[in-house]
Amino acid sequence: MEKPNLMRLLPRVGLTDLPSSAIWKRSDCLAGAVIAVAFGLAPAVLVLLTFDEVLTPIQLQARSLATPILLMEIAVIVYALLEGLKLPRIVALPSAALVMLLALAWVTVVNSPLASAGIIRTAIWTIHMLFGFSIVNLIRCGQLRREDFPPAIAFGFVVFNFLFVAFVVSVHRADYDWIDAMPAYSNIRWLGFYSTAVFGICAAVYTGNRHLYAAVAVLALGIAVWSGSRGTIYSILAGYTVAIALFPEMRSGWRRVAMIVAAGIAVGAALTAVLPMGMGAERLSDTSSSGRVEIWTATLPYIQLRPFFGWGEGQMLWMPQAKGVFVHPHNVILQVLLAWGMVGLAIIAGLSLWLARQLFPQISRDDLPFVLPVLMITAFSLIDGALFHVQSVATFVLLLSLLAAGKVSSRASISADGYPYRQLS
């Protein structure tokens, strides 16, 4: 029997609604398409690696460090080095600040109480940084296209949740630990970090008449609500509010965003009714801080002990107030102060302001699928570890690098083939 031609089937299932530059339509820039697909599917690979009720030590380590994401980042770094360096010219002040931050991170961690754990965490931060520079470099080399990533990430999210829901259905019982014994995440609430980023990407694309992305955005919010991640709703509302205040292009699509938010909450409530997990929609009515205020308060005395240079990365576990459970302060500002002190916070704030000043005047409609999730992840990091855990930090770095690369690269390599959704309605 003759096998069906996949390309002929695409129009029937609606996949042609994706951007015209979708990865499977590309004959050029093959390496970049592979990178986009690898990034999109890495979380699904993590589900497969940890698809067991009782995990081995190796599986636990893979889940804790999101090993497939880290390996993908390292592979991109190696490939970028093989392609050669074509980064933009060095700007003295921000470059010096970045070197100072790296030096501060490594010097503090080798003298920290939990040096071994801290060195691993600092090495991961270094990998994230090099990954970001590699993305920019590959775009400048013409080996990567920004527009390949939204469809790859959306597709990977669908695959991830197919596997995730399959696990829930296969082991569903009332006495199961739905919070800490799930594939891919040590705590099911972390699913909100992933869902928030996907929602931000898909919502921005959907407001430009790419309707298939609406379904993925609804799925993202529905899964997050089902998992009991309250921070997702907050981060979406906060991030989108900032986006419409800064970028008038987002304002005409607010009705569509409101519609998919309502639909996502409804999907989450329906999933909770069918397969209760993680307290689901019930947590939306919980107005407590879930212990965050107590964690923030307990962190302050340690920051005061080393206010200038901090304790080094990954040091919260040894602190008595952390009770051997909490690995970060659930607030990115306190997280930076605890790790790298006021000096580290000043350097990061300075670099952020410099980058924002470079990017803001140049932001266009085509940049919104990268801007919106960056704002949402940033908002999430003020109440949780969205800028601590490997997968969400890697996503944040990728999106920020794609946004920055679109501004430092030549128009011939980027702007000539932008997104096919120019008009908002």
Q: What integer pLDDT is reported at residue 255 of this predicted model? A: 83
The Cα–Cα gap between 329 and 111 comes to 21
Q: Does residue 189 contact residue 227 with C-beta atoms inside 8 Å?
A: yes
Angle subtended at Cα 108 by Cα 313 and Cα 131, rounded to the nearest 5 degrees: 55
Q: Would you state the torsion angle of the CA atoms of residues 33, 35, 40, 41, taken in this order, to the nearest 10 degrees? A: 110
Q: What integer pLDDT is reported at residue 331 of this predicted model? A: 93
Q: What integer pLDDT is reported at residue 398 of this predicted model? A: 97
Q: Count CA atoms within 13 Å of residue 398 on its CB side.
A: 31
| Strand (E) or helix (H) holding 51 | none
pLDDT in 10s for each residue of the chain, 425 residues: 444 443 343 333 333 344 334 444 444 578 889 999 999 999 999 999 999 988 899 999 999 999 999 999 999 999 999 887 776 666 788 889 999 999 999 999 998 888 888 999 999 999 999 999 999 989 888 888 998 999 999 999 999 999 999 998 888 777 888 888 899 998 888 999 999 999 999 998 886 667 789 999 999 999 998 888 888 989 999 999 999 998 887 887 788 888 999 999 999 888 888 888 766 656 666 666 677 888 888 889 999 999 999 999 988 877 776 665 677 888 999 999 999 999 999 999 999 999 998 888 888 888 999 999 999 999 999 999 899 999 999 999 999 999 988 665 433 333 333 433 332 22
The backbone torsions φ and ψ at residue 227, rounded to the nearest 5 degrees and listed phi first, read: -75, -10
Indicate the SS3 state at residue 42: helix
Amino acid present at 391: Q
Q: What is the DSSP string of 299-364?
A: HHHHHHHSTTT-S-TT-GGGSGGGTTT--S-SSHHHHHHHHHHHHHHHHHHHHHHHHHHHHGGG--
